[in-house]
Amino acid sequence: MITNSLFREICHKSFTKTAAAFSKFISAPITIDALQLRKIKINEFVLRNSQEKIVNLYTPITGNFNGFAFFSAFEKDAYHLCDKVLNRKKNGTCELADIEISVLSETTNVLVGNYLTHFSHLLHTGVLFHKTSIIDCEKPDIIVMKAYSDLTKSLPEEAILINTILQYEEISMYLTYLFDHDSINYQILKLIA
């Protein structure tokens, strides 16, 4: 199913619509880079291959099937995004206080909400909801370790990993989704039939 061109097209179109909505949100062009789809075992999930601290927001997804969304960026990129949204001069953000956390939470809301709307529509499934984001600023492996309990409670052993990078100027923002493999596979089979 992972190599299914229909599923790849659904993911790509959903990210394209998400990038367009986010471009409007920050009044700047956004590009999509490196769509990655693969089946993984939850205990093998790696958010990023880096030991550098990242700012990450993750949110549970519920509805016709369960999943999780992760929005992450290196600290400097998260700060630069806050500068853009808050109309600050470049390098004006140097910490994550309440206003910056609010900006990143709203960014996650825009990105995840738009993706789920288009993804569920193209999959012909019911609405998918996302809950309040949990923010963390740590090394990626520590973030996954903290989220692992939630992941294993909500997802079976095998999941679909959907990952892309959104680019704005020199900022790279990573969107990663994990969904129940069997539920996604069932939806794709229904579409093909």
Say what the pLDDT of residue 108 is: 95
Cα 64 to Cα 86, 110, 125, 139, 179: the distances in Å are 36, 21, 7, 32, 11
Beta strands at 67-74 and 31-41: parallel, antiparallel or unpaired: unpaired
Radius of gyration of the chain (CA): 16
Say what the pLDDT of residue 164 is: 95
Say what the pLDDT of residue 4 is: 81
Say what the pLDDT of residue 19 is: 95
Residue-by-residue pLDDT tens, the chain, 193 positions: 544 889 999 999 999 999 999 999 898 999 998 889 999 999 999 988 888 999 999 999 999 889 999 999 999 999 999 999 999 999 999 999 999 999 999 999 999 999 999 999 999 998 899 988 899 999 999 999 999 999 999 999 999 999 999 999 889 999 999 999 999 999 998 888 7
- Residue 28's Cβ-side half-sphere holds a number of Cα atoms within 13 Å equal to 12
- What class, spelled out in words, does domain 5-192 have in CATH? alpha beta
Say what the pLDDT of residue 104 is: 96
Cα 87 to Cα 40, 81, 84, 90: the distances in Å are 40, 10, 5, 9
CB atoms under 10 Å from CB of 24, counted, come to 11
CB atoms under 10 Å from CB of 25, counted, come to 16
Can you give the residue ranges of every domain in the chain? Answer: 5-192
